[in-house]
Amino acid sequence: MQGKIALEEHFAMDDTVEQSVRFSSQKHWAELRSRLLDACDVRLAEMDRHGIEWMVISLNSPTVQAIPDAVAARELARRANDALAAHVARRAGRFLGFAALPMQDPDAATAELTRCVRELGFRGAMVNGFTQTGDGSGLAYYDLPEYRPFWRVVESLAVPFYLHPRNPLPVDARIYDGHPWLYGPAWAFGQETAVHALRLMGSGLFDECPGLRLVLGHMGEGLPYNLWRVDNANAWLWRDVGHGYPAKKTITEYMKENVYITTAGNFSTPVLKAAIEILGEDRILFSTDWPFEDIADAATWFDRAGIGEETRRRIGRENAAALFGLD
């Protein structure tokens, strides 16, 4: 399929690239590092080769979210966003940007997102999970009350917020002791991000901001396939007091009304078909997760997946075009 749009695609700067070494074997690190630092040339060649017209680029993980000092986080986010804006300008008509945000300070995050959207032309934000605070052991999840003004501005700007994974801190990851293979995309990424997304939905955020649009990668971090159980448990166990959380609707309703999922890094046709049946084809977006996954693998799988051509067109292009306001 020609004309695909991809939106979980990463780049790095010299002072952030080493944070990605943990996601690569020593054998492949040189290649991954080169891909991250090359924001345009190799990336564009792969896009042309595999029918991707637009790519939305974002900073590697966890970077800004791993800096407890709010001033330092704000400075890095601004530099990263300015660097990304320069890359996007070099390839106008092919690249778009997601803002990195210093969520350590909700007011600063709000100001930086507003600058990126209104001045740099970015189409939303990608934030790498929870933000570390204090001495680095404190955690901020974005359902907390101090983030409500931030979310109202995200809604008013009419741009999506992509919640990208990160690993839990060691103190919260004892379940993985002795099993390092469970970190990252194998399991820990999805578990951490799914709980964060559930917190956002259950907090009543989308009742207050019904126009807010949240994006989850990797086919929804496992959430679509557990929605019935989540809702059934809350409906039965908490039947006398509502859902057991402040939100007014079921989690399934929020997933279908406020959440998009992408195919990034999860190239399974049975999983894609299940997501279509559970959420509907209008809530799913093509993505690759470059450079941690190969564009060739993502595009070849998607172009051959056993779905109808109209469905392929919607997931591959039309849903994202509508989300980002592209012609």
As annotated, the active-site residues are: 289
Please name the residues in contact with 252: beta carbons below 8 A apart, sequence gap of 6 or more: 227, 228, 231
Helix (H, G, I), strand (E, B) or coil at 187: coil
The structure tokens 């690569």 sit at 24
> What are the phi and psi torsion angles at 197 (to 5°)?
-65, -40
| CA–CA gap between residue 125 and residue 164 (Å, rounded) | 10
What angle (nearest 5°) sits at the alpha carbon of residue 296, between those of residues 32 and 13? 30
Q: Phi and psi of 61, rounded to 5°?
A: -110, 150
Nearest to 91 by CA among 128, 138, 44: 44
- Order the strands of the 4-11 sheet from edge to edge: 4-11, 52-59, 95-97
How far apart CA 63 and CA 127 sit, in angstroms, is 10
- 181: part of which helix (H) or strand (E)? none
